[in-house]
Amino acid sequence: MRIVFYLLSIVVANVVTAAFAPLQFGMFIVPMGTLFVGATFIFRDLVQNKYGRKKTYIFIFTALVLSAIVSFLLGDTLMIVAASAISFILAETADTEIYTRLKLPIAWRVFYSGLVGGLLDSAVFVIVGLSPLGAGMLPWEAVPAAIIGQIIVKTVIQMIGAIILSQVHGTKSNSFA
């Protein structure tokens, strides 16, 4: 089920981003799919916890291909698909490697690895895909707000996931082992 949730969260993030206008709160711009992107890091960590690092890279590659296909089918430009793929592979790799190396309880590993993954995903996607360097959907003045808005949302999702995992892991010692 972990693998299904991981892959499904990526597909849902793409579909929701394409189907709904971005949220704007104050100066921050956040695509609706960002809520699900934050969850992908949690699900990826749970996949890695069960199947190990090497097999997780197979699932990351599968998710990358699935995400690119879905983005293309939804009509995203080639630049957006490429930016999504680049940010995805960088963020998921960073998340995997940080999660692997931290010697902390699962909730903290999920939080810290997802925090870095979310930061990379947000910065790379906005700069490569949305800025004037990419598809030109955002002017340079809006780029920092777009990056920070996504980071805030992804961090909140990571915190919620870490809290849930600490509660579940604290009461069921073998639940995620």
Instruction: Please state, in angstroms and rounded to a whole number, the distance separating the CA atoms of residues 77 and 74.
Output: 9
Chain-centroid distance of CA 170 in Å reads 25
The CATH code of the domain that includes 82 is: 1.10.1760.20
In a domain, 106, yes or no: yes
In a domain, 14, yes or no: yes
Report the domain count for the chain.
Answer: 1
In a domain, 154, yes or no: yes
3-state secondary structure of 165: helix
Query: Using an 8 Å Cβ cutoff, are 33 and 14 in contact?
Result: yes
In a domain, 102, yes or no: yes
82-130 residue pLDDT tens = 999 999 999 999 999 999 999 999 999 999 999 999 999 999 999 999 9
In a domain, 21, yes or no: yes
72-82 residue pLDDT tens = 999 998 999 99
